Amino acid sequence: MPRGPAKKKTEDTPSQSLESKLWATADKLRGHLDAADYKHVVLGLIFLKYISDRFAQRHAEIIREEAGAYSEDRDEYTAEGVFWVPVSGRWTMVQAAAKQTDIGKRIDEAMTEIERENPKLKGILPKGYARPTLDQRRLGELVDLIGTIGLGTAEHQARDTLGRVYEYFLGMFASAEGKRGGEFYTPASVVRVLVTMLAPYKGRIYDPCCGSGGMFVQSEKFIEAHGGKVGDISVYGEESNPNTWKLALMNLAIRGIEADLGPEAADTFHKDLHPDLRADYILANPPFNISDWGGDLLRDDKRWQYGVPPTGNANFAWVQHMVHHLAPYGIAGFVLANGSMSSNTSGEGEIRKNLIEADMVDCMVAMPGQLFYSTQIPVCLWFLAKNRDDGRGMAGKELFERTGEVLFIDARNMGFMADRTHRELSDEDIQKIADTYHRWRGDGEGEYADVPGFCKAASLDEIRKNGHVLTPGRYVGAAAKDDDGEPFEEKMDRLTKELSAQLAEGRRLEEEMLKNFRVLGYEL
């Protein structure tokens, strides 16, 4: 079977001075607004600047390409995927009023006009820039600073400056907000592990709790980095938080990603917006261990093929919802709390056992701690696959039969501390995890081999002997220690002599100490 390695994408990081300047200015608003509110203030302005810049870029192209063409012809813009920006919504008009006391009112009007002219954006863009709690002087300063970045120019589009700034801000807001922010933001390195392992080249991608849309963005990046066509995938998602749902639509719109996130924000369990969808790839980071998910109202739901999930924890409700939406040869990769690998509470162990016995579990990855802004709960990655006897992987390559076997990867010791509280995985870490998985399933370069302390392909019988517990540490064993070349007998003789000398020195020091106490008149 022909094999080929996944190409590693190298990205330049955005200018730190630009990032820090933007964040410092945006952060001035924090004393006047809650983090959850000022996030939308800042990201809304960045979005407004971007679509205005893209409009101006296309305007210049039309004039250059077709001398004398009517550059205000709407079709000339929308045909190229450019939003139509009315005169009152263009950044030049907004920035000209940056020092006016009614700058917030003008921004609100610009957002309203843009929504009116672009049905796809209706009800999505943030408003309320004129509210009394928003300092208008600081808002004007933020407008001026964002005005210095050419987000929609050809040069910045090529470098994806807008996307990077957007992702940077999402991460910073998640860190600043703590738990509330982390609910919609999955750290980029975690998303990249999921995407690089699943390798979604073609088909339907689904995220039942899509947050700000990071899974979709990384999937698009993966496809482009490996020479694929973004149009080869269809994107579906759902999000219950109305503000986060709007944020996802904005995040996807600036990337030009067409996605069906439903007509509104909705609860995936109680109002499944894609009931007939059968996805080729499912990527998700469900909220961990939620107890108030309304499970008592869904005891007879058809999605619970492997057991009714407990009303006090939605983890295995999410798992079975995703299995329900998998296509016949679909594969799902998602984040869960570590307890999901071993818990036997309220029937969870029986559901996990049934999934294993149904040969649904493909791979388990134990992740390092401190990856998330929102929680210190250690997490793992689950990979479930239908019909593991065959199928196609990266770039259409045939996969090995993997029935009756599960790959375990222990990545707990990977990563580096990006700051005092947060860990990230390096490009090399992500590639090592993904390459191990692809070699094992048959679409990677080289032959797979168990590595003590890191990875193990365990049989179903081994998993049964471990009580259907899926914790990788139980299977991978301890890492092999390097042999220092010293013969065992010589090493024992040397260590025995060293211990004897250390004990003798200890006795000498004890006698010296007692002697000093006697000199001072104390008897011990």
The predicted model gives 478-495 an average pLDDT of 67
Q: How would residue 145 be classed by pLDDT, with cut points 50, 70 and 90?
A: confident
C-alpha to C-alpha distance for 327 and 187, rounded to whole angstroms: 27
pLDDT recorded at residue 486: 64
Q: How would residue 324 be classed by pLDDT, with cut points 50, 70 and 90?
A: very high
Q: Which of 240, 233, 245, 217 is nearest to 280 (CA)?
A: 233
Q: Fold for 188-474, please state it.
A: Rossmann fold (3.40.50)
Q: Fold for 18-177, please state it.
A: Ferritin (1.20.1260)
Q: How would residue 160 be classed by pLDDT, with cut points 50, 70 and 90?
A: low
The predicted model gives 82-87 an average pLDDT of 92
Residues 6 or more apart in contact with residue 492 via CB below 8 angstroms: none
User: Among 72-76, 294-298, 462-466, 481-485, which is the least confidently predicted range?
Assistant: 481-485
pLDDT of 340 higher than 80: yes
pLDDT recorded at residue 35: 57
Mean pLDDT score across all residues of the chain: 84
pLDDT recorded at residue 1: 36
Q: Which residue has the higher pLDDT, 214 or 177?
A: 214
C-alpha to C-alpha distance for 467 and 475, rounded to whole angstroms: 12
Domain boundaries, the chain: 18-177, 188-474, 490-523
Q: Which residue has the higher pLDDT, 35 or 102?
A: 102
Tens-place pLDDT, residues 92-114: 999 999 999 999 999 999 999 99
pLDDT recorded at residue 294: 95
Tens-place pLDDT, residues 422-459: 788 999 999 999 999 999 999 888 999 999 999 999 99
pLDDT recorded at residue 2: 34
pLDDT of 184 higher than 90: no
pLDDT recorded at residue 95: 93
Torsion angle of the four alpha carbons 61, 63, 69, 74, in this order, in degrees rounded to the nearest 10: 50
How far from 386 is each of 50, 184, 261, 281, CA to CA, in Å? 41, 28, 25, 11
pLDDT of 7 higher than 50: no
* Residue 492, token pair as written in the block: 């024992």
pLDDT of 351 higher than 70: yes
